[in-house]
């Protein structure tokens, strides 16, 4: 498949990017999240300049991603521990039933 050209708007500036048709929705959503984060930074701080705002937004979004990944890892570890405990309990209960 060929790429499509998509116009996205971030901080009142329009950018034209290419993407695969099946990635359009994800790209639009990503641009929306980035724009919201950059608007938040521009409103809530004294940071001036598009580049500095973009760097701060990238750092914030990356931090959020890392926290989410850590949370998923912890949930997976807890799930594994619970599964292990469940197996042990079932084994003990089976032994008691015999």
Weakest mean pLDDT among 1-5, 42-46, 54-58, 90-94: 90-94
Give the span between the Cα atoms of 93 and 49, in whole angstroms: 66
Give the span between the Cα atoms of 71 and 97, in whole angstroms: 38
Class of residue 12 by CB neighbours under 10 A (exposed 0-12, middle 13-18, buried 19+) = exposed
Give me the residue spans of the domains in the chain. Answer: 4-97
| Global confidence as pTM | 0.69
Taking the CB of residue 98, how many other CB atoms lie within 10 A of it? 4
Residue 74 has what pLDDT? 86
Summarised one tens digit per residue, pLDDT across range 26-63 is: 999 999 999 999 999 999 988 889 899 999 999 999 99
Contacts of 82 (CB under 8 A, 6+ apart): none
Can you tell me the mean pLDDT for 4-8? 94
Indicate the CATH number of 4-97 among 3.40.1410.10, 3.30.160.880, 3.40.50.970, 3.50.50.60: 3.30.160.880
Contacts of 81 (CB under 8 A, 6+ apart): none
């Amino acid at each position: 498949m060929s790429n499509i050209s998509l116009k996205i708007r971030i901080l009142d500036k329009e950018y034209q990017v290419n993407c695969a048709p099946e990635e359009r929705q994800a790209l639009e959503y990503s641009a929306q999240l980035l724009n919201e984060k950059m608007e938040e930074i521009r409103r809530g701080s004294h940071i001036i300049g598009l580049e500095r705002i973009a760097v701060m937004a990238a750092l914030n979004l990356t931090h959020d991603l890392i926290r989410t990944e850590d949370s998923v890892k912890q949930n997976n570890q807890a799930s594994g521990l619970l599964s292990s405990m469940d197996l042990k309990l079932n084994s003990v209960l089976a032994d008691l039933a015999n």
